[in-house]
Amino acid sequence: MKKDVKKVVLAYSGGLDTSIILKWLQDEYKCEVVTFTADIGQGEELEPARKKAISLGIKPENIFIEDLKEEFVKDYVFPMFRANAIYEGEYLLGTSIARPLIAKRQAEIAAMVGADGVSHGATGKGNDQVRFEMGYLSMNSDLVIIAPWREWDLNSREKLLAYAEKNGISIEKKPGKSPYSMDANLLHISYEGLVLENPAAEPEEDMWRWTVSPEKAPDQSEVIEITYEKGDPVALNGVKLSPATMLTKLNELGCKHGIGRTDIVENRFVGMKSRGCYETPGGTIMLRAHRAIESITLDREAAHFKDEIMPRYAKTIYNGFWFSPEREMMQAAIDKSQEGVNGTVKLKLYKGNVSVIGRDSKTNNLFNEAFCTFEEDEVYNQKDAEGFIKLNALRFIISGKNRKKQGKA
């Protein structure tokens, strides 16, 4: 029972799979197809996508190619890093954070061109389908969503290739193309499939596309300084940089020094465990640096509250609920805490390690040398600690006395 749809905006990469989808949409839904290709830093030429789209019969005015890198880093990546977000202790949410932006823009283009449908190339087993569709429905709950992987019967590589061949879609692989299922943007690149489907097995070294291995990284460490304003990195080694440029530069540094590889088994929202390998070079540096600048500028209880809601915040993003009221509530709390997170962090990069070696804040330094010395001072009176401890222990003292009364001590 096909849905009724006239014009569909497709998230289009220009690759084989979304080209097949493009064709399939035309054939099965008899609908007009609008392609949307976003540059979010995946590191691929986008003009070939235009050519390919035209070759598949898409009208030039129906081809949208946009550079979203600055918006991506400024409005998605940076807010997320203010929270020190990590999913399940390991994953920096590189794919999760990019989907909402693409979905939002796709829905906006649908409104502009008068489309009544949207489509994406995510499979029916993963998280991305959820992230895309939550994004669409948050923007416009009337959009018809077409998820070909859940609908068609092209459910094997062989059938796909046969379909492509039959429809004149070129299936030649670029030389050197990875055999893994991959996703990339300015924050990270991910790998799934093949040997990774056995969590006991190590991936081969040449799977990793961005970073050098720690073993091959320079023998010489490198020290960098990042400047923070309201919790966001704004300058590198004293040079002001736009958000996307900042992340690009940090990626270069991380890649050079073998920083940011992770190999994990994670829990998908749709219910199964899945193995993924990730490279998040700049993000790994930012996470450490942000915690370091917070360590001298952020109030203790503000920091602890952030830590306590962080797992929920990370899960919310992982599961695809970026545009939800609960994410906005948590963001409001987090952003409130970042007003005083200003200063600089010095880091040493060396063969996979990111070490904090200094942090400073001219304006918001809550670290007070005077409090830590072993000599007298007038601000902190050691005798105060006795009362502090006694009242904190009072509940134990009372229950202890009760146990004694009961002869149970």
Active site residues: 17, 99, 128, 181
Cβ atoms within 10 Å, residue 332? 9
How far, in Å, CA of 376 to CA of 159, rounded? 79
Q: How far is the CB of 273 from its own copies (least distance, A)?
A: 4
Residues 81-120 that bind its own copies (CB under 8 A): 84, 88-90
> Does residue number 406 form part of the binding site for its own copies (CB under 8 A)?
yes
> Does residue number 351 form part of the binding site for its own copies (CB under 8 A)?
yes
How far, in Å, CA of 34 to CA of 56, rounded? 11
Q: How far is the CB of 245 from its own copies (least distance, A)?
A: 26
> Does residue number 239 form part of the binding site for its own copies (CB under 8 A)?
no
Q: How far is the CB of 41 from its own copies (least distance, A)?
A: 25
Q: How far is the CB of 375 from its own copies (least distance, A)?
A: 5
Distances (CA, A) of 239 to 69, 79, 234, 236: 20, 21, 8, 5
Q: Tokens representing 71?
A: 């918006």
User: Which one of the spans 6-14, 28-36, 68-76, 144-152 is the region binding its own copies (CB under 8 A)?
Assistant: 144-152
Residue of 21, 187, 261, 280 that binds its own copies (CB under 8 A): 261
Distances (CA, A) of 272 to 126, 268, 269: 9, 6, 8
Residue of 70, 116, 229, 360 that binds its own copies (CB under 8 A): 360
User: Which one of the spans 22-30, 40-48, 62-70, 199-207 is the region binding its own copies (CB under 8 A)?
Assistant: 199-207
> Does residue number 224 form part of the binding site for its own copies (CB under 8 A)?
no
Buried b (16+ CB within 10 A) or exposed e, 226-244: bbbeebbbbebeeeebebb
Expressed in angstroms, the distance from the first to the final Cα of the chain is 73
Total number of residues that touch its own copies (CB under 8 A):
131
Residues 331-350 that bind its own copies (CB under 8 A): 332-337, 346, 350
> Does residue number 3 form part of the binding site for its own copies (CB under 8 A)?
no
Distances (CA, A) of 352 to 49, 201, 288, 395: 35, 21, 13, 47
> Does residue number 221 form part of the binding site for its own copies (CB under 8 A)?
yes
Q: Tokens representing 152?
A: 């068609």
> Does residue number 134 form part of the binding site for its own copies (CB under 8 A)?
yes
DSSP 188-232: -EEEESGGGGSTTSPPPGGG--SSPPGGGS-SS-EEEEEEEETTE
Beginning with the edge strand found earlier in the chain, give each strand of the sheet holding 232-236 in spatial order.
239-240, 232-236, 222-229, 343-350, 353-360
Tell me which residue of 117, 119, 120 sits closest to 143, measured CA to CA.
117
Per-residue contact flags (x/-) with its own copies for residues 5 to 44, judged by CB under 8 A: ----------------------------------------
Q: How far is the CB of 20 from its own copies (least distance, A)?
A: 14
Q: How far is the CB of 73 from its own copies (least distance, A)?
A: 22
> Does residue number 216 form part of the binding site for its own copies (CB under 8 A)?
no
> Does residue number 133 form part of the binding site for its own copies (CB under 8 A)?
yes
Residues 156-175 that bind its own copies (CB under 8 A): 156-157
Tell me which residue of 58, 55, 20, 32 sits closest to 152, measured CA to CA.
20
Q: Give the type of residue at 396.
A: F
Residues 264-323 that bind its own copies (CB under 8 A): 264-267, 270-275, 291-292, 295-296, 299-312, 315, 321, 323
CB closer to its own copies out of 26 and 149 = 149
CB closer to its own copies out of 174 and 336 = 336
Distances (CA, A) of 16 to 2, 43, 53: 24, 17, 11
Residue of 1, 2, 141, 204 that binds its own copies (CB under 8 A): 141
> Does residue number 398 form part of the binding site for its own copies (CB under 8 A)?
yes
Give the dihedral sign, CA 300/301/306/311.
positive
> Which parts are annotated binding residues for ATP?
11-19, 38, 121
CB closer to its own copies out of 76 and 350 = 350
How far, in Å, CA of 85 to CA of 79, rounded? 10
How far, in Å, CA of 284 to CA of 353, rounded? 10
CB closer to its own copies out of 80 and 244 = 80
